Amino acid sequence: MKRNDLFSFVLIIYCLVNYQNAMAQNNSNHKKIHIGVLYWSMNIPGQVAMRDGLELEADMINDRSLSNGLPRVELLKRVAGDGQKGIEKQISQMYELIKLKPDAIIVQPTDNVALVDPLREANRQNIPVIAYDQYISGGELSGFITSDNEQAGYLNGEYVASHFPDDQKIKLILVEYPHVSSTVERLNGFLDSLSDHGQLYEILKTYKAVQPEEGRRAGLSILKDFPEHGSIDVIFTVNDGGGLSVVDALVSGGRDEIMVVSIDGDPESVKNIQAGRLTQIDSAQFCGAIGSEAMISGYKVATNQPVKKHILIPVFPVTIKTLSLYSGWSGDIPQSFRKPWTANDPIWTGKIITDK
Residues 184 and 70 in one domain: no
Do residues 25 and 69 lie in contact, with contact meaning Cβ atoms separated by under 8 Å? yes
**DSSP secondary structure string, 17-83?**
HHHHHHHHHHHHHH-EEEEEEEE--SSSHHHHHHHHHHHHHHHHHHHHHHHH-PPEEEEEEEE--SH
Helix (H, G, I), strand (E, B) or coil at 168: coil
Burial track 250-269 (b if 16+ CB lie within 10 A, e otherwise) = bbeeebeebbbbbbbbbeeb
DSSP string, 204-262: EEEEE-SSHHHHHHHHHHHHHH--STTS-SEEEES-HHHHHHHHHHHHHTT-TT-EEEE
Share of the chain above pLDDT 70, in %: 91
Asked whether residue 39 falls in the same domain as residue 113, the answer is: yes
Kindly report the CATH number assigned to the domain that includes residue 281.
3.40.50.2300
User: What residues make up the domain containing 338?
Assistant: 149-286+314-348
- Whether 102 contacts 34, CB under 8 Å: yes
Task: Let me know if residue 356 belongs to a domain.
Answer: no
Question: 37 and 21: one domain?
Answer: yes
What pLDDT was estimated at residue 18? 52
Tens digit of each residue's pLDDT (9 = 90 or more) over 156-186: 999 999 999 999 999 999 999 998 889 999 9
User: Residues in the chain, how many?
Assistant: 356
User: Has residue 247 been placed in a domain?
Assistant: yes
Handedness of CA 3, 8, 14, 16 (dihedral sign): negative
**Cβ-based neighbours of 230, under 8 Å, separated by 6 or more:** 257
pLDDT of residue 22: 45
In the prediction, which pLDDT does 247 show?
Answer: 98
For 65, 112, 141, 149, 183, the CA distances from 240, given in Å and listed in that order, are 37, 20, 28, 14, 11
Label residue 328 by pLDDT band (50, 70, 90).
very high
Q: Are residues 59 and 206 in the same domain?
A: no
Does pLDDT of 24 surpass 50?
A: no
Cα separation values, 286 from 53, 271, 303, Å: 10, 17, 26
Higher pLDDT, 332 or 279: 279
Question: What is the pLDDT at residue 31?
Answer: 87
Q: Are residues 120 and 158 in the same domain?
A: no
* 1 is a domain residue: no
Contact 213, 249 (CB under 8 A): no
Q: Does residue 333 lie in a domain region?
A: yes
pLDDT above 90: percentage of residues in the chain: 85
pLDDT (mean) for 127-131: 98
Question: Quick one: 156 and 67 in the same domain?
Answer: no
109 and 136 Cβ atoms separated by less than 8 Å = yes
To the nearest 10 degrees (0 to 180), the angle between helices 212-225 and 240-252 is 40
Q: Which residue has the higher pLDDT, 8 or 239?
A: 239
Distance of CA 154 to the CA centre of its chain: 18
- Strand pairing report for 201-208 and 143-147: unpaired
Residue 270 CA: distances (Å) to CA of 73, 91, 275, 351: 35, 34, 9, 22
pLDDT 10s digits, 191-227 = 999 999 999 999 999 999 999 999 999 999 999 999 9
Mean pLDDT of 312-318: 97
Confirm whether 31 is domain-assigned. yes
Asked if 242 and 293 sit in the same domain, the reply is no
354 domain residue, yes or no: no
Claim to verify: residue 143 and residue 264 sit in the same structural domain: no
Q: Looking at the structure, do residues 130 and 205 belong to the same domain, yes or no? A: no
Distances in whole angstroms, Cα of residue 215 to Cα of each of 128, 172, 204: 35, 17, 18
**Average pLDDT of the segment spanning 62-66:** 93
Residue 4 located in a structural domain: no
Residue 23 has a pLDDT of 44
Same domain? For 76 and 124 the reply is yes
Quote the pLDDT of residue 28.
45
On average, the pLDDT of the chain sits at: 92
What is the chain's alpha carbon radius of gyration, rounded to the nearest angstrom?
Answer: 25
Looking at the predicted structure, is the pLDDT value of residue 19 above 50?
A: no
* 118 plus 244 within the same structural domain: no
My answer on whether 205 and 322 are in the same domain is yes
Per-residue model confidence as pLDDT tens digits over 268-306: 999 999 999 999 999 999 999 999 999 999 999 999 999
**In 3-state terms, the chain is what percent helix, strand and coil (to 5)?**
45, 20, 35
pLDDT exceeds cutoff 70 at 92: yes
**In this predicted structure, which of 28-37, 101-110, 247-256 has the lowest mean pLDDT?**
28-37
pLDDT at residue 158 in the model? 98
Q: Are the C-beta atoms of 197 and 161 separated by less than 8 Å? A: yes
Calculate the alpha carbon distances from 198 to 56, 167, 168, 259 in Å: 44, 9, 10, 19
Checking if the pLDDT of 351 tops 70, the result is: yes
How far apart (Å, rounded) are the C-alpha atoms in residues 195 and 296? 38
pTM greater than 0.85: no
One-letter amino acid at 322 equals T
Q: Look at residue 46 and tell me if it is in a domain.
A: yes
Q: Report the domain count for the chain.
A: 2
